[in-house]
Chain A
Amino acid sequence: KAGVTQTPRYLIKTRGQQVTLSCSPISGHRSVSWYQQTPGQGLQFLFEYFSETQRNKGNFPGRFSGRQFSNSRSEMNVSTLELGDSALYLCASSLEPGLKYDTIYFGEGSWLTVV
């Protein structure tokens, strides 16, 4: 059974550019969440999608957006990149939100460097 797949694994962008990261959840999982990890702030929740709808959103500026497709794959986009957006972006998948014994699995992450 394939795990959570994130692409690209590494990327370097220039300030002001935009970036799109992709996440394919585990087959059968319909809930996808995104997290940002930095040395200073630790792991912070970005947003969660289920059935193509954003169910929950973290405290991030509007430059951070996401979407989910009918096959449960998800993308997140960051526009007008800033140096502080340099981070590891992790995608997580689960069957659906709210299940009592639903385990949440993560991908390998996308390392974004903004120069």
Chain B
Amino acid sequence: AQKITQTQPGMFVQEKEAVTLDCTYDTSDQSYGLFWYKQPSSGEMIFLIYQGSYDEQNATEGRYSLNFQKARKSANLVISASQLGDSAMYFCAMREPLYNQGGKLIFGQGTELSVKP
């Protein structure tokens, strides 16, 4: 069965520094997609970045990059130059295998990031 593990329940980072949020996944499928979402206290789940299992290059979106190590089954999120507004819960998620034609996401337990001024 597919599984997502986020081992850091909470993290602190100084404003303007970079931070890495860990995510490991377990799947026996070759084709899958990995997502990172940000959830502020308001509840909205904000899409940050996506990595497909066949993508050879790490995904980047502005200050967000995904450190994808397929052999280790890890998909860590790197936030560069942290800002106070980055304080939120961060979720790593994996989509069901594409051959299942499913859009179902499996989520990790999340990491609460606090940015200190």
- Contact of A76 with B by CB under 8 A: no
Greatest chain A CB density within 10 A among B100, B102, B104, B110 is at B104
Q: Which of B43, B93, B110 contacts A108 (CB 8 A)?
A: B43
Which of B10-18, B44-52, B65-73 lies on the face that meets chain A?
Answer: B44-52
Known: A56-B103, A109-B44. 8 other contacts (CB 8 A): A33-B104, A45-B106, A48-B102, A58-B104, A98-B101, A104-B95, A106-B47, A111-B43
Any A CB within 8 A of the CB of B74 = no
Q: Is residue B80 contacting chain A, with contact meaning CB distance below 8 A?
A: no
| In the bound complex, CA of A58 to CA of B37 (Å) | 21
Interface stretch (choices A11-19, A67-75, A77-85, A88-96)? A88-96
Q: Are A106 and B50 in contact (CB under 8 A)?
A: no
**Minimum CB–CB distance for B27 against chain A, Å:** 16
Is the Cβ of A100 less than 8 Å from the Cβ of B52?
yes
Number of interface residues of B (CB under 8 A): 28
B30 within 8 A of A: no
Given A101-B50, A104-B35, A104-B95: A109 touches B103 (CB 8 Å cut-off): no
Flag if B43 contacts A45 (CB, 8 Å): no
A55 vs B100: C-alpha distance when bound (angstroms): 10
- Complex: how many Å from CA A100 to CA B44? 24
Q: Report how far A112 CA is from B35 CA in the complex, Å.
A: 26
Q: Is the CB of A42 within 8 A of B110?
A: yes
CB distance from B41 to the nearest CB of A (A): 11
